[in-house]
Amino acid sequence: MPHKWYAIYTRSRYEKRVEKFLREKEVEVYLPLMRVFRRWSDRMKRVEVPLFNSYLFVRTHPSDQRHYYNILQTPGVVRFITFEGQPVPVPDHQIDALQRLSAEGYDLEPADKPLTPGTPVEIKQGPLKGIRGEVLSAGTNKFLIIQIDSLDKSIQVKIPPALVEPTKEV
């Protein structure tokens, strides 16, 4: 029985704690993080915060009822993201893309606006080779947008236009 990635919804600001609890239960978990500057009264500091507020990803199989309910009973876990009552798997290639982006040191940030029609592209060079997305133009800068379908969320990565090539589909 192949395990797949699923998104879970957590209590607000509990993502890191839930990740820790799930790791202690030996559940394969992935929490994408981004680095941001936070201001305190006496200093500014760069900290890591969740890329998607109240979401993280677990690798499981919903028919494995014991494992499924073990995840749901973790403090801070609210529910699995479902469609018509069934947990929705997140494609492996989307999780792999997020992990590769983080591992390569790209600064990830949530896309501020919903996706608008644009040119579908595929990265042809560099460490992100093979990742597909949609280009949005902001002056002379271009952003590769990776849509996480089952969450209806997006991330944007600044990438040199020379590294992408138009394609027929995202």
Does residue 145 form part of some domain? yes
The tens place of each residue's pLDDT in the chain, 170 residues long, gives 578 999 999 999 999 999 999 999 999 999 998 887 788 888 888 888 998 999 999 999 878 889 999 999 999 999 999 989 889 999 998 898 888 888 877 767 676 554 445 777 777 777 777 877 777 654 455 566 666 666 777 777 777 666 777 777 76
pTM: 0.74
Does residue 66 form part of some domain? yes
Q: What is the CATH number of the domain that holds 46?
A: 3.30.70.940
Pair 78, 143 in one domain: no
Pair 66, 123 in one domain: no
* Calpha distance 156→109 (Å, rounded): 6
Q: Which domain holds residue 59?
A: 4-90
DSSP 52: S
In 25-91, alpha helices (H) = 65-72
Domain count, the chain: 2
